[in-house]
Amino acid sequence: MTGIIDAVDRLWRHVQNLKPIAAYKKFRSGDSVRKISDFFYSPIYIYALGIVTLALNMLGIDEITYAFLAVLAITVLLLCPDAMPAIAVLVFYTVARSVGNRNYAKYNEISFVFGNIWRVLVRIAIAFHIIVNADFRKVKSSRLLVGFIAVSAGLLVNGFLSPYYNILSTGDGIRIIRRTFVGYLVMRTCIKPTRETLRYFCYVALVYGLNVGIQLCATYFINKPFIESGFNKDSMLLGWGVSNTIGATLFVAMPFVFYLMYTEDKHAWYYFTAVTLMLIAQVFTYARASLLFTLPLFAAMYVLCLAKGKRRKQIAVCGIVAVVAVIAVAVIMKSMLIEMLQFFINNKFGDRGRFKLWSAGIELWKTSPVFGAGIHNEMRTQTYYHNTPLQFLVTGGILGYAGLALNHMQISSLFTQKPTIKRLFLAALTGGIVLISLLDNFYMYSAMQIFFQFAVVFAEHDLNKTLPFAYRYKVKNGKYKLLY
């Protein structure tokens, strides 16, 4: 495999040294272009992106929303030397679709035509950015290639030899590979895993979480169908997700905001307020699977910040104020809160159909234990089993399940060797997604994979820095050479 990677790397660098690409890089490094690209690496850009996306979402004009995001993505892909500003656009793209446009219900033929044009242009810009900027040498130092190849192979052959096999299963497998393995490779080769990169992504997560929280708050105040249903969980529908999806989306932002609270010299009160509001918003999603794991992780991360963070006194005061405020609101708004949270009172943490789904899934897996029944099986539709390992077992069989297990074992090893504070917070994110996915299929969702793969790439880099000689290799003359 090393020989293949070396050959690809040589070809890649030959292409990157061609005169037209060299001239383009020289143009991009000019003073005027660099001043523009510097803006895209600033917190102001992240806040502006979040505010504009939120405003367009509230206005419900998705054609303009997607045009804005597409133009911005193309711009940053062409002007910026790494992919972080484009990843920020992708993060907000996942929560951009407005209420009422679920499954693109408000779109007409012209909307779809322009949407497809933007999609093609963005993909061309992504391909160009990868060709010009990707450092393929970083693949050589990857600790995770075997696991990713294994899980990708299982997805490619999901449903083979099953009586229910449908070609759509292979297409869906490829889509999941694109979110997982391809996403990992792009992030590994096209971003610089420095402390500032991690800080930048933390701000993206912060604004992203606030954006989702405001969308949820608006649902409680202006979403008529939801209000008239008596705040029914099943009626909580945003354009891009249902209650469980919203709950998981809020969770993935929290570890990054806690990292800012732990490491930043200023504004600990702001980060605490933001992450607490995200937790409160998550309670009002009625997403029990997310809450089951979020609450202990939230408490653990807060205690860590309180014990070791840079602004411990400020964090302690914020915690006391938050407890007093929650008690006061609970007393003053008791009847309204009981009405809104009736779902928890009625259901607690009991089963709502998962056990039946799991039993049906096991029976279906028995029909094709090696390759699984396929993602699209007997009903020719995609069935979600609300348990990611079971999903891989039923749809991909023993091969699919084994690939996922190997991939997760390799990823978990990043956090058990010589742990650091950075990897501790990243472990809270990746571990949280894996745990929540025991009760749902969030691991397979695009937004979850952006956060998950970023954490994996950064954790891998941090481990390589921590272990001696981990990211070097010996050349013939006995000297060591850096892999990246």
> For residue range 206-249, what is the model confidence (pLDDT) as tens digits?
999 999 999 999 998 888 888 888 778 888 889 888 888 999 99
Instruction: Give the highest mean pLDDT range of 7-11, 212-216, 289-293.
Output: 212-216
Distance between CA atoms of residues 126 and 246, nearest Å: 28
Distance between CA atoms of residues 263 and 64, nearest Å: 38
User: What pLDDT shows up at residue 339?
Assistant: 64
Least confident of 8-17, 43-52, 143-152: 8-17
Percent share of the chain, pLDDT over 90? 51
User: What pLDDT shows up at residue 125?
Assistant: 95
Least confident of 12-16, 200-204, 469-473, 477-481: 469-473
User: What pLDDT shows up at residue 475?
Assistant: 52
Confidence of residue 471 (pLDDT cuts 50, 70, 90): very low
3-state per-residue secondary structure call for the chain: CHHHHHHHHHHHHHHHCCHHHHHHHHHHCCHHHHHHHHHCCCHHHHHHHHHHHHHHHHHCCHHHHHHHHHHHHHHHHHHCCCCHHHHHHHHHHCCCCCCCCHHHCCCCHHHHHHHHHHHHHHHHHHHHHHHHHCCCHHHHCCCCHHHHHHHHHHHHCCCCCCCCCCHHHHHHHHHHHHHHHHHHHHHHHHCCCCHHHHHHHHHHHHHHHHHHHHHHHHHHHHCHHHHHCCCCHHHCECCCCEHHHHHHHHHHHHHHHHHHHHHCCCCHHHHHHHHHHHHHHHHCCCCHHHHHHHHHHHHHHHHHHHHHCCCHHHHHHHHHHHHHHHHHHHHHCHHHHHHHCHHHHHHCCCCCCHHHHHHHHHHHHCCCCCCCCCCECCCCCECCCCCHHHHHHHHHHHHHHHHHHHHHHHHHHHHHCCCCHHHHHHHHHHHHHHHHCCCCCHHHCHHHHHHHHHHHHHHHHHHHHHCCCCCEEECCCCCEEECC
Summarize the confidence of residues 83-88 as an average pLDDT.
Answer: 95
Q: Indicate whether 144 pLDDT > 60.
A: yes
User: What pLDDT shows up at residue 482?
Assistant: 46
Summarize the confidence of residues 68-96 as an average pLDDT.
Answer: 95
**Residue-wise pLDDT tens digits, 95-121:** 999 887 877 777 778 888 888 999 999
**Residue-wise pLDDT tens digits, 300-315:** 999 999 999 899 999 9
In which residue are the tokens 């060709």 written? 131
Summarize the confidence of residues 182-211 as an average pLDDT.
Answer: 93
Instruction: Report residue 483: phi and psi, to 5°.
Output: -75, -35
In which residue are the tokens 């990992």 written? 184
Distance between CA atoms of residues 366 and 272, nearest Å: 48
**Residue-wise pLDDT tens digits, 318-357:** 999 988 988 887 777 777 667 666 666 666 656 667 888 8
Confidence of residue 477 (pLDDT cuts 50, 70, 90): low
Distance between CA atoms of residues 429 and 205, nearest Å: 11
Distance between CA atoms of residues 274 and 431, nearest Å: 22
* Number of Cβ within a 10 Å radius of residue 449: 22
Q: Indicate whether 481 pLDDT > 60.
A: no
**Residue-wise pLDDT tens digits, 348-397:** 656 667 888 888 888 889 888 999 988 876 544 556 788 899 999 998 99
User: What pLDDT shows up at residue 228?
Assistant: 82
Torsion 314-320-323-327 (CA) sign = negative
* Cβ burial, residue 137 (10 Å; 0-12/13-18/19+): middle
In which residue are the tokens 């050349």 written? 475
* Cβ burial, residue 35 (10 Å; 0-12/13-18/19+): exposed
Percent share of the chain, pLDDT over 70? 90
Confidence of residue 276 (pLDDT cuts 50, 70, 90): very high
